[in-house]
Amino acid sequence: MLIVMKRGYTEEELQEVVREIEKVGYRPHVSRGVETTLVGAIGRGPTPELMEHFRALPGVAEVIPISKPWKLASLEVQPFPTVLEFPTGKTGGGHVMVAAGPCGVESREQTLRAAHYVKAHGAHMLRGGAFKPRTSPYAFQGLGLEGLKILAEAKRETGLPIVTEVLSPEQVELVAEYADVLQIGARNAQNFPLLQAVGEAGKPVLLKRGMSMTLEEFLMSAEYILSRGNMRVILVERGIRTFEKATRFTLDVAAVPVLKSWTHLPVWIDPSHPAGKRDWVIPLALAGLAAGADGLIVETHPEPEKALSDAAQQLHEHEFAELMDKVRRLVAALDKTLAAPVLG
């Protein structure tokens, strides 16, 4: 249920509401707006008697049932956009960021080269997989701990925050020591123990949509993270599996405005995986931003033809530079703010 506080409520009245929510076994979530303060009481469906109990508390204006099953992700609980802030910029609420780098961390030289040029061309975050979930057990699985150490070195040299994937609950503690953002890939989007573990880790989470997930299911996966007290979640549309075979996946551009109308969480686009071919990455990236996305996560490699994974979809450096030039112009035309390039 959603508790609307009266104008002019006191802090003691608000804290009394929070205490009462906890007393009946619900989880409180306070959202302070410019004119209205809302308190979400997250738990089982409330009885009419319980709602009347909260209506009678001092400082309470109204009590409203939350209609969406994704309680904490809902705009009913927080009617304004969540803005996540990093040392290199913000995302959400009209702020746009770009994460870029190789699909996988293959070597120190490859990763550092990519880190330096994505920074030079205006990226705000470095992506790279130290652990790689692959369809084939014989494909490159990543460098593991060595890869995390290489990413940490790239961060020291460039100042770019690191986003990298975690594959299991057992890996969360290790990866969280090195990563600034924990990525949950499409294959793990409904790995509920993993979602709960990253929710408890205290790091921002970049959650990719599963290749066969509805948007309702996607938000319920986010709810697993939010329900553990971690409200710093970025949703990523990365393409879904359809009957079409011309592209690797079908980018659901419509998911962006739909999600923006349902949730306060930032929404990003991954144009690399649905494209499957580097020629189509830039158009898909621009389409996602035009639809309202708050950011991009893009694959780029110093020598894509030699990449150990996703070689066909990784951009050359000059193509990434072209993408960033077009992103800057599009974001300005949309009257949004692109985080400034990282200096130094």
The bridge status of strand 89-91 relative to strand 295-299 is: unpaired
Residue 183 and residue 225 in contact, taking contact as beta carbons nearer than 8 Å: no
| Alpha-carbon gap, residue 158 to 291, rounded angstroms | 31
Fold of 84-338: TIM Barrel (3.20.20)
Contact partners, residue 325, CB within 8 Å, separation at least 6: none
**Top-tier CATH class for 2-64:** alpha beta
Residues 258-276: b if buried by 16+ CB within 10 A, e if exposed = ebbebbbbbbbbbbbbbbb
Within a 10 A sphere around the Cβ of 48, how many other Cβ atoms?
Answer: 8
165: nearest Cα among 221, 115, 208, 119: 208
**Domain limits, the chain:** 2-64, 84-338
| Residue 249, both tokens | 């996946």
| Cβ neighbourhood burial of 169 (10 Å; 0-12, 13-18, 19+) | middle
| Cβ neighbourhood burial of 243 (10 Å; 0-12, 13-18, 19+) | exposed
Q: Which residues pair with 62 in a beta bridge?
A: 4
| Residue 96, both tokens | 């746009």
Residue 143 and residue 131 in contact, taking contact as beta carbons nearer than 8 Å: no
Helices (H), 240-311: 255-262, 272-275, 281-290
| Residue 136, both tokens | 């084939």
| Tens digit of each residue's pLDDT, the chain (344 residues) | 899 999 899 999 999 999 999 999 998 988 887 678 889 898 877 888 999 999 999 999 999 888 888 888 999 888 899 999 999 999 999 999 999 999 999 999 999 999 999 999 999 999 999 998 777 776 777 899 999 999 999 999 999 999 999 999 999 999 999 999 999 999 999 999 999 999 999 899 999 999 999 999 999 999 999 988 899 999 999 999 999 999 999 999 999 999 999 999 999 999 999 999 999 999 999 999 999 999 999 999 999 999 999 999 999 999 999 999 999 999 999 999 998 888 77
The separation between the first and the last C-alpha atoms of the chain, rounded to the nearest angstrom, is 48
296: nearest Cα among 217, 237, 224, 240: 237
